Amino acid sequence: MSVTPEPLIQSTISTSPTEAPFCPVMPVLSIQDLHVWFELRQWGFFLAGYVRAVDDISFDLAEGEAIAIVGESGCGKTTLMRTILGLVRPTKGKILFANKNICELGTIGLREYRSHMGYVQQDPYGALPPFLSVRRILEEPLIINGVDDRGERERRIRKALEEVKMAPVEDFLTKFPHMLSGGQQQRVVIARAMILGPKILVADEPVSMLDASVRVEILKLLEGLRRTHNLAVIYVTHDLSTVRYFSERIFVMYAGKIIEQARVNDLIRHHQHPYTRALFEATPDPDAHNATVLKDVPPGEPPSLVKPPPGCRFHPRCAWKIDGLCEVEEPPYFEMRPQHLVACWLYR
């Protein structure tokens, strides 16, 4: 028999799942009603269905704001980021930047848009072309974006390397990616992401392949760059232990949807959705006094994105499922407190 978790605060208002949530200042980016469905073809020919990797997501990002997207593997985080970067065309929805819907831009418009976006990938070695030197890697976006003056390009390359603390710069300019450590490779990826002076930095699990001490350095570096350049940052991670140091708001994704969102301290103290609770409970605690047992991961398997469960997508794994409701109707967002929204019928 399941016991209903006590809500920490009663919800007051409910909003439609497609309604863009609260954003404190003028948004630099507005994601509206975004759907990304990949075609699933059988024998490479017959359309057998769609992988609903991103399914009705809306949020705003303010100038200079850092947000985190968390969620388990396969929930659609990278697809969402690649769509925001203009690398994947959405099936439906809008991405507004500088009053333009980037989903409608052609090649030239998209190139201009991408010059405002920096992308830091999870695997730095895979992200860097192996046959190019650090100088060439950093020079390429400048050439593509019309910085014709060679001296100006060299000046910007050196400045970017100094900013990511790769000094003395001469020691790195002629090196190839395989001659660098994982941390140094990730610094080059960050330098490349910063070289055109972006407004938004998308960091997709930027430290998950690095060891613990390097992780802290890279996160501090990103935080420093954010403050110096007033960058808006979207930080994607599995690692709930780093989000509080890096983001102002957290969005929890589950099976292509955002199921809970709140300011960082609010979410850490008062997470409400059963999935968010399970995620926090599954986070390993490095404190030896608390780490006597291996923590449980959410029970069951993440759902198929081709045939997601009806109603709430978490209901087959939820200990607090309300029969006759959760498996029938998709929950809207319930507002637990200002800026804290939860898509769960427990808080109706």
| Closer by beta carbon to ligand ATP, 79 or else 91 | 79
| C-beta separation of 260 from 252 below 8 A | yes
The site that binds Mg ion (CB under 5 A) totals a number of residues, namely: 2
Indicate the angle between helix axes 150-163 and 134-144, nearest 10 degrees: 120
Q: Using the minimum distance from each CB to Mg ion, give the nearer residue, 77 or 215.
A: 77
**Residue with token string 């730095």:** 124
Binding residue (CB under 6 A) for ligand ATP from 11, 79, 184, 247: 79
How open is the CA angle 207-211-215, to the nearest 5 degrees?
A: 40
Closest contact distance (angstroms) between CB of 166 and Mg ion is 26
Of 11, 30, 58, 78, the one binding Mg ion (CB under 5 A) is: 78
Does 83 engage in binding with Mg ion (CB under 5 A)? no
Of 77 and 199, nearer to Mg ion (C-beta) is: 77
Full DSSP string of 26-45: -EEEEEEEEEEEEEEEETTT
Asked whether 199 and 164 are in contact (CB, 8 A), the reply is no
Site string for ligand ATP, 10-49 (x = CB under 6 A): ----------------------------x-----------
Task: Report the residue from 20, 51, 96, 325 that binds ligand ATP according to the rule CB under 6 A.
Answer: 51
What is the maximum alpha-carbon separation in the chain? 71
* Buried-state track 11-29, b at ≥16 Cβ within 10 A, e below 16: beebeebeebbbbeeebbb
Q: Segment 54-73, which members bind ligand ATP (CB under 6 A)?
A: 73
Q: Could you list the residues that contact Mg ion (CB under 5 A)? A: 77-78
Q: Could you list the residues that contact ligand ATP (CB under 6 A)? A: 38, 51, 53, 73-79, 305
